[in-house]
Amino acid sequence: MKLFFKIVFSFLACIYLSNTLASDNYDSSSTQLSIPSVLVGNTTYNNVIIKVSSVISVGSAPALNLIDVYNPDSNQLYIPSVNVGNTTYFNAVVTVGPLISIGGISTLTLAPSTQNQIDGLIQSFMNSNNISAASFTAMKSGNVLYNKSYGFSDQANSIKIINDPLMVTASIVKPLTAASIQRLASTGVLSLQDHVFCTGNNKPCWLNVTSPNGTVISGTTHNGSDFASPGYALITIQNLIDHEGGWDRSLKTCYGASSFVSLGYPTPCDPMAQEALIQQVLNSKFPANYAVNQLPNQMNDIYYWATTNPLDYHPGTIQAYSNFGYMLLTAIVSQATGQDYQNYVYKNILAPMGVPQSDFSTYAYNPSASSPQSTRTPYSIASLQCPSIYTPGIMVYANNQGCLNPTNWVGAATSLTTSKVMAQFASVYLIDNSNNLNSKITPGLDGPNNGTLLNGSFNSGYHDGALASGVSNIMRQLPSGSSYTLMLNKDNSVDWQGTLYPQIDKILNAAGF
């Protein structure tokens, strides 16, 4: 029977329990587990009964997800909540035995006419804007309503794109980073009111900043190697989640801004765009410790560069979108857990949703030919050039990622995943657009509860993302409980996302989703 179970599900990457208030029920005398509803591909199977062979682990409340997940490779089932007698257990992992029965089948999917509307909108938009690859996923209650990829994988448009391609997240990864921080806060590992930088007398704090010669900077008087503004001692983790750390990337007054303005960058004071400049300055200032052949920049180099320049605003007073702030959150995740960001996020946020490990990684510069990135990521179309951080003195198109070290920005922009993964995430975690301050740039973006669990509630949430490397993305939560993600392989010179998402909303709303 166990063989039969594995044959039935061998074609699956995973199984998802639909969004329902009902827990699984386990009968210890018969070792049978009753699952109210299980998604297999795009089909929902009701009243599934299986045998449980062994219990791997049991966690604690609350449930991290509303989705049961079966992994055929390990023959393990993740269970958000299960009733055993009069006790409810949370976040259990078990090894499954034989499949006993599957009840009725119900399909929760977009009607063909609605699929055609989605296809028509996306394909027309791609044709009008010379976009060669896209991926779209819509979900509701753990069910995949529609999952489709469009276009081609290669630059010559000769190889049809695969389904579930890996694409760069750009900023739609930020709520995922926020979710990691919120989880660490909810388990007492850190507090959202902890300070970000350790300036000598502001504990609890998380990040020490060192110069390339190894000197730990402290104090806020800007005496030589001190932090450049008193406000650096006051920046909290919550400030970073809310984009209220005190930096404004849109200003054109920072050191070296003019060269990035001339290249066409709309945010010339974003450290994410300035890595080549940072290399030049640090190599000049610390010739004995920082050589050009010690490439690329590491996170601490960027901390040092940023913190020895003044803040634009006092922390907590203005919301101005900040990739740098989310890079700092990435570092705090690693510092607090002793794990790299990608590993922690996968194990604690994505794995419980049944995401295969191969569906979440960091974009790599010059990946191996056999890597998932090389085989599953479509060619990206970039219009902007940047100074290379790998070969100083030359300009490269940004789709080569030659203008930044992707490892530094994985929690802000350079993760690699699928539209299905991000639509799943948006079905479980809050995208908070409530802004508690007058926003400098984008009203209502990344509010204080960003990344908290929805716990079965519904939300109207939105996050987009764009990179000059050839990325334009949308991640959306609808008040109906539906969620969707659209990923495109070209950078936008105008607000493509703002044009597309109201039209997608309208199509899904008209279809009852």
Q: Which of 15-24, 65-74, 258-267 has the lowest mean pLDDT?
A: 15-24
Q: What's the pLDDT score for residue 278?
A: 87
- DSSP reduced 3-state for 314: coil
Strand 32-40 and strand 133-140: pairing? unpaired
If asked whether residues 402 and 437 sit together in one domain, one would say yes
Q: What's the pLDDT score for residue 2?
A: 37
Residue with tokens 């790998």: 390
DSSP string of 115-159? HHHHHHHHHHHHHHTT--EEEEEEEETTEEEEEEEEEBSSTTS-S
Domain count, the chain: 3
**Has residue 275 been placed in a domain?**
yes
**Has residue 183 been placed in a domain?**
no
Distance CA 70, CA 182 (A): 26
Distance CA 71, CA 149 (A): 24
The predicted model gives 121-129 an average pLDDT of: 97
Tokens of 252: 């054109």
Q: Is the pLDDT of residue 440 over 60?
A: no
**Has residue 481 been placed in a domain?**
yes
Cross-strand partners of 39: 16, 44
Distance CA 391, CA 276 (A): 10
Q: Is the pLDDT of residue 123 over 80?
A: yes
Q: Do the beta carbons of residue 451 and residue 350 sit within 8 Å? A: no
Q: What's the pLDDT score for residue 100?
A: 76
With the C-alpha atoms ordered 453, 455, 456, 457, is the resulting torsion angle positive or negative? negative
pLDDT digits (tens, 9 = 90+) for 470-501: 899 999 999 999 999 999 999 886 789 999 99
Report CA-CA distances (Å) from 133 to 163, 424, 462. Answer: 11, 21, 22
Q: At what angle do helices 323-337 and 299-307 cross, to 10 degrees?
A: 130
With the C-alpha atoms ordered 39, 11, 149, 475, is the resulting torsion angle positive or negative? positive
Q: What is the largest CA-CA distance in the chain?
A: 73
pLDDT digits (tens, 9 = 90+) for 193-234: 999 999 988 999 999 998 888 888 877 655 545 788 899 999
pLDDT digits (tens, 9 = 90+) for 345-401: 999 999 888 888 999 999 988 888 889 999 999 999 987 788 888 887 888 887 666
If asked whether residues 121 and 237 sit together in one domain, one would say no
Round the average pLDDT of the chain to a whole number and report it: 85
Residue at which a domain ends, from 270, 300, 335: 335
If asked whether residues 324 and 356 sit together in one domain, one would say no
**Has residue 74 been placed in a domain?**
yes
The predicted model gives 65-75 an average pLDDT of: 70
Q: Do the beta carbons of residue 133 and residue 168 sit within 8 Å? A: no
Distance CA 408, CA 272 (A): 9
**Has residue 187 been placed in a domain?**
no
Query: Which range is most confident: 247-261, 393-407, 453-467?
Result: 453-467
**Has residue 340 been placed in a domain?**
no
If asked whether residues 373 and 479 sit together in one domain, one would say yes
If asked whether residues 363 and 321 sit together in one domain, one would say no
**Has residue 199 been placed in a domain?**
no
If asked whether residues 292 and 353 sit together in one domain, one would say no
If asked whether residues 352 and 492 sit together in one domain, one would say yes
Q: Do the beta carbons of residue 299 and residue 381 sit within 8 Å? A: no
Range of the domain at 235: 204-335
Q: What's the pLDDT score for residue 4?
A: 32
If asked whether residues 278 and 392 sit together in one domain, one would say no
Q: Band of the pLDDT at 507, cuts 50, 70, 90?
A: very high
If asked whether residues 358 and 450 sit together in one domain, one would say yes
Distance CA 451, CA 454 (A): 9
Q: Do the beta carbons of residue 52 and residue 95 sit within 8 Å? A: yes
Q: Is the pLDDT of residue 410 over 80?
A: yes
If asked whether residues 262 and 124 sit together in one domain, one would say no
**Has residue 506 been placed in a domain?**
no
Q: Do the beta carbons of residue 271 and residue 305 sit within 8 Å? A: yes
Residue % of the chain over a pLDDT of 90: 47
The predicted model gives 170-189 an average pLDDT of: 97
If asked whether residues 329 and 375 sit together in one domain, one would say no
If asked whether residues 214 and 314 sit together in one domain, one would say yes
Total length of the chain:
513
Residue at which a domain ends, from 301, 335, 369: 335
The predicted model gives 323-348 an average pLDDT of: 96
Residue at which a domain ends, from 335, 367, 393: 335
| CA 326 from centre of chain | 11
Q: Is the pLDDT of residue 456 over 60?
A: yes
Cross-strand partners of 135: 149, 487
- DSSP reduced 3-state for 282: helix
Residue 287 CB neighbour total at 10 angstroms:
11
Q: At what angle do helices 419-426 and 174-186 cross, to 10 degrees?
A: 40
Distance CA 400, CA 218 (A): 37
- DSSP reduced 3-state for 392: coil
